Amino acid sequence: MAIAPQTFQEMDLAISLSHERSKAYKIDPNITKAPESSRLKPGELKTRIENQKTFYTIAKDQIDSLYNLLKSTGFCMALADKEGYVLYIVGDADLEEHFRNRHCTPGYRWTEKDMGTCAIGITLADKKPIFVPGNKMYATLAQTISNSGAPVFDVDGTLLGVISLSGYTHKMHIHTLGLVCQAAEAVTSRIKEQIHTKQLAIKNKYMSALLEAGTRGIVTVDPKGCIVQTNKKAQVMLDLPDNCIGKSFSLLTKTHFNFEQILQKGKRFLAREITTAKGTNFLSLDPVIMDNGEMVGAILSLTEKKEIVQLAMEMTGSQAHFTFNSIIGKSATIQKAIEIAKIAAKNSASLLIYGETGTGKELFAQAIHNASDRCKKPFVALNCGAIPSELLESELFGYEEGAFTGAQKGGRPGKLELADTGTLFLDEIGDMPFNMQVKLLRALQTSEIRRVGGIRTIPIDIRIISATNKDLKKEIQQERFRPDLYYRITTLSITIPALRDRQEDIPLLLEYFLKRHNTQLTIENSISLKAKDLLLQYQWPGNIRQLESAVERAIHLADGKIIKPEHFGIQKAEIQENTNNTKLTLDEIEKDAIEKSLNYHQGNLTQCAIALGISRPTLYRKLEKYHIDIAITN
């Protein structure tokens, strides 16, 4: 900060007031040196300098620079802190000797209260520059020496100390005051610069820490797309050379889109795929635009593909939640299936799960995944029978941007790609179109895929768990399923028993479903003995899914009262016929159950599907399979 000069009259007044204060302090005009009581104890001077090191170092440099101009011309300079303690002194030998004799040396305090009127003392008191002629010094011994003193301020205006210039009275002139004022202002200016430099260094350190923090790669580019800065993560992800700064980002990374054109538009984009020898990553761009609208560059952030996939799995719920503890049952048949499943979980061999609709095939698949060494990796499920054949390829393999009309911008990964390093569960694989079976087989054999409309191959590492309710050997005989794919997916196989083959588990399942739905609805339903007996006699063609649906229906119909047989919507005739037709085939039992349910629900497919514990698409397929022609209402 600029130091305001004083007029001669103002300085004379300041000196007169200082004399009055000196008298009030009872300073002896014949005092020869500063009292010992004003001296710092051993070690305190070093501590004091260390505590104000920036001020001391910068001020000392300024004093030394100025003294080099005045050397051997009869001058001496001193630096004192805001409390008046002398920190540093430099000057011609005779003057240094004079100041040593008067104790005006580092470690002694030099204020009006110690020595009376002097440049350091008045400057500390008034915080203004002063020139004190020798004849106006308070102490008689000091009158052969004249002083100039200037205050040194911090950048916030607080007083840091005083710089003084002394010399023999016949050599001193008031112009010397300008020299110390300039030196004091230079100290403040350099302190400000140092603070600014330190702040910039701190900001740069924070920026560097931010660049290196987290799992993302960060690259900054100029308006032409040349690299300005990059973190270590980005260098590894993009396989960038050490001398990449100043080089074209698109040339180094071989982007398959017009990066420079996108950059010039100054618009951000998200999750563009970029592939290098190190693998596939997703690139996002945020332009850096000044207040005047000038685009000065961009920040590019890179996310590893596996991180995006994991996030997608979490957001879409494509994760395995069930474990072997989730499988309810103590019957020998279900325990045998669990035992085989636990063996399957110890390796990554392909696995086929047989079981009727509603037996819990996906529950087993999730349990196996969660017990395997891929448990922390993606679990992706795809129902091969629920997706139209013309869409199944893009669902499995994904597609590139522009692959077909309506294709998502930037393309989209398929289920095989999303399941990389994890498990892909292909439910109802027996319903997969024949032409798609060939493409799936090739992907499994080569461990590579190619998106629809794409030219690059993408390596995959997945475990395949398939499931079906069909006899795939019969499907092979009828040329509806490829034998080579069958052998590829059946290294291991598990058969999950139908509910009618594990009737001792029905009470356990009933208790579980009652408790779960009662908790959700905050009610306390109980079930009658007749209703339990009814459930034990029924054959449950829709298996566990049908049982759960029936329990939920009964809870709602009972409305908080005791659940009775009629609440399940099961007719006695169904139980009687099921009992008498135990020699019927599974297909015959299933067809009969569907026809009776449709008749009972007057052709309402939705109600029929709920009662059977299956989905509407599955019911449609079974109607077609069994050639059931019946009036349908919604």
Tokens of 486: 């069958």
- Whole-number Cα distances in Å, 463 to 251, 345, 374, 414, 491: 37, 11, 9, 15, 12
Mean pLDDT of the chain: 87
Tokens of 120: 């350091």
**pLDDT in the model for residue 171:** 81
The predicted-structure confidence for 447-498, as pLDDT tens digits, reads as follows 999 999 888 888 999 999 999 999 999 999 999 999 999 999 999 999 999 9
More confident site: 615 or 408: 615
**pLDDT in the model for residue 246:** 92
The amino acid that residue 610 corresponds to is I
How many Cα atoms are found within 13 Å in the side-chain-facing hemisphere of 33? Answer: 14
Question: Which of 402-411, 418-427, 565-574 is the most confident on average?
Answer: 418-427
Mean pLDDT score, 254-262: 78
**pLDDT in the model for residue 630:** 67
Secondary-structure percent of the chain, ordered helix, strand, coil, rounded to 5: 50, 20, 35
Q: Which residues contact 600 (CB under 8 A, 6 or more apart)?
A: 569, 571, 611
Give a three-class secondary structure readout of 416-428.
Answer: HHHCCCCEEEEEC
Question: Which of 3-7, 365-369, 406-410, 577-581 is the most confident on average?
Answer: 365-369
Mean pLDDT score, 588-611: 79
Interior/surface letters 602-621, b for 16+ CB within 10 angstroms, e for the rest: eebbebbbbbbbbbeebbeb
The predicted-structure confidence for 2-56, as pLDDT tens digits, reads as follows 676 788 899 999 999 999 999 999 999 999 999 999 999 989 999 999 999 999 9
Least confident of 185-199, 217-231, 269-283: 269-283
Percent residues over pLDDT 70 in the chain:
94
Tokens of 116: 């009376």
- In angstroms, the CA 517 to CA 513 distance is 6
Q: H-type helices in 254-330, by residue range?
A: 259-265, 305-316
Does the model's pTM come out above 0.85?
Answer: no
Neighbours of 128 (CB within 10 A): 17
Least confident of 3-7, 108-112, 150-154, 260-264: 3-7
**pLDDT in the model for residue 474:** 93
**pLDDT in the model for residue 467:** 96
The predicted-structure confidence for 286-315, as pLDDT tens digits, reads as follows 898 888 888 888 998 888 877 766 666 655
Tokens of 491: 């290294």
Nearest to 443 by CA among 480, 423, 417: 417
Residues 163, 79 contacting (CB under 8 angstroms): yes
Residues 132, 28 contacting (CB under 8 angstroms): no
Nearest to 302 by CA among 218, 208, 211: 218
Mean pLDDT score, 200-219: 79
- Whole-number Cα distances in Å, 602 to 96, 534, 608: 118, 23, 9
- In angstroms, the CA 419 to CA 306 distance is 10
Interior/surface letters 81-118, b for 16+ CB within 10 angstroms, e for the rest: bbebbbbbbbbbeebeebbeebbbbbbbbbbbbbbbbb
| End-to-end alpha carbon distance in the chain | 85
Mean pLDDT score, 265-275: 80
Residues 150, 162 contacting (CB under 8 angstroms): yes
- In angstroms, the CA 38 to CA 111 distance is 9
Residue with tokens 């004022």: 181
Confidence of residue 619 (pLDDT cuts 50, 70, 90): confident
Q: Is it the case that residue 317 has pLDDT exceeding 70? A: no
- Whole-number Cα distances in Å, 48 to 41, 84, 163: 11, 12, 17
Percent residues over pLDDT 90 in the chain:
52
Q: Name the E strands within 350-417.
A: 351-354, 379-383, 398-399, 412-413
